[in-house]
Each structure stands twice: as C-alpha cells, then as structure tokens.
Amino acid sequence: MSKSPCIKVCEFEKDICLGCGRSRQEIKGWKRLGKGERLALLAEAAMRLLALEATGRRKY
C-alpha cells in the first residue's frame, strides 16, 4: 500500500484535512511510513472523518 489516501480536497479544519482526515504533519510524512504505520494512520484518519461527519463539518 503506497498510494496516498488524498482525494484532492485539501481543506483544513484545526489542522485536519477534511478530505482524507490526516493532519498536515501526517500528510508530509506519508512517504516515510511503513505499511503497518500507514494502516494505523488510515484507521485513525477514518475515525476523525466519522467525527467530522457526525458534527456536520465534513461534506465530502
């Protein structure tokens, strides 16, 4: 898994991308992460996106 989860939205709220759920630092460091680290980050980002959707702050 080397493909970035970026969906080309790149709008941020409190340092979290509303498109992919990653922070600016996580986006910047994506290429340096191993497979396990990427999977963990994707799970964390998915939880962030769910929280944003639940509060109506994510519309994608």
Q: What 3 state SS string does 18-55 have?
A: CCCCCEHHHHHHHHHCCHHHHHHHHHHHHHHHHHHHHC
pLDDT of residue 60: 73
Query: In 41-59, which positions are buried (b, 16+ CB within 10 angstroms) versus exposed (e)?
Result: beeebeebbeebeeeeebe
| Contact predicate 7/21, CB 8 Å | no
- Say if 26 falls within a structural domain: yes
Is 4 within a domain?
Answer: no
Please check the confidence at residue 2 and state whether its pLDDT lies above 80. no
Per-residue model confidence (pLDDT) at position 31: 95
Question: Does position 59 have pLDDT exceeding 80, yes or no?
Answer: no
- pLDDT at site 58: 83
- Number of domains, the chain: 1
25 lies in some domain:
yes
Per-residue pLDDT at 41? 98
Residue 39 falls within a domain, yes or no? yes
Residue 14 CA to residue 3 CA, distance in Å, equals 25
Domain, as residue range, for 20: 12-54
Q: Give, as one character, the DSSP assignment of residue 15.
A: T
Q: Residue 41 domain-assigned?
A: yes
